[in-house]
Amino acid sequence: MKNIKLLTILIPSHNRGLQLIKFINKFYFFKNKIDLVIVNDGSNHSIFYKKVGLLCKKHSFTKYFELNKNYGQSYATNYGLSKVLTKFVWLLDDDDQISKNTLMKILYILKTNPNINALLLPMSIFSKGKKIKTVYPKYEDHLFKNLRNKAQKVNTSCSIFNKNKLIKIGGLDPKLMGGTDTDLFLRFSKKFEFRIAHVFPVRVNVDTSNKTYNFMIQQKSKIYFIKKNWKIISFKRKLYYLSSFIMFFPLLIKLQLTFKQLKKNG
């Protein structure tokens, strides 16, 4: 009897070809259990991406697609989603990491709980190689009634979705350049429930040079998010977003962190 795969790991990538090579080599161990879909989002044509392309041609469990320009992570993710053939999809950033042990446990959970709409995993946040904190998501925090009040506790690298349910809500919003996770989790929770996977945390690497941390992009994204979700977010949430926009909270936080670092360095 042919083995039916349940899970695809979907990785949109921009200028991180070396990391993708590591992913392919790590996931080869699971070649009969998962698919791996990589979408090159208009990256520079480095030797690493050429190697990625060759590896994907060599290994049948991988699929590699190249976009002709940088459309953004959400667009690349939606494009990859259209190529997924399995019931479940794991949206993994190209700079984050998951252990083999975690993947094995996730495969077991999906096999024994086929009616899951979405799974959330713990998240360990790292910055410049140092662990900042570990977050363990809770079921109650990710119900719609709570997500309309405040943001989710983990990001998309710590989320696994039923592919058809994700498509049903429209996937990710390519017009939103920042806060895409917040928008996705809010919309998904309105129709479906998240369940919690008690596994080893996903390593999420924070890179403040990423354009999603750009001050102007954050401000524009806040306005777009609040206009789009005005009818479903709470008054408290509206007030927070409007206040943070007016008072430039992101810029103030960034300046505060910079000042602390300068003070620390003497």
Q: Could you tell me if residue 250 is inside a domain?
A: no
Q: Could you tell me if residue 263 is inside a domain?
A: no
Phi and psi torsions of 30, nearest 5°: -105, 20
Q: Could you tell me if residue 240 is inside a domain?
A: no
Q: pTM of the prediction?
A: 0.86
Q: Could you tell me if residue 236 is inside a domain?
A: no
Q: Could you tell me if residue 21 is inside a domain?
A: yes
Domain count of the fold of the chain: 1
Q: Could you tell me if residue 20 is inside a domain?
A: yes
* pLDDT for 2: 60
Q: Could you tell me if residue 257 is inside a domain?
A: no
CATH code (residue 87): 3.90.550.10
Distance CA 183, CA 180 (A): 5
Q: Could you tell me if residue 34 is inside a domain?
A: yes
Tens-place pLDDT, residues 222-257: 888 888 989 999 998 888 877 776 666 555 566 666
Yes or no: say if 195 and 119 are a contact pair by the CB < 8 Å rule: yes
Domain containing 74: what range? 7-211
Tens-place pLDDT, residues 143-195: 999 999 999 999 999 999 999 999 999 999 999 888 899 999 999 999 999 99
Distance CA 203, CA 197 (A): 15
Yes or no: say if 222 and 179 are a contact pair by the CB < 8 Å rule: yes
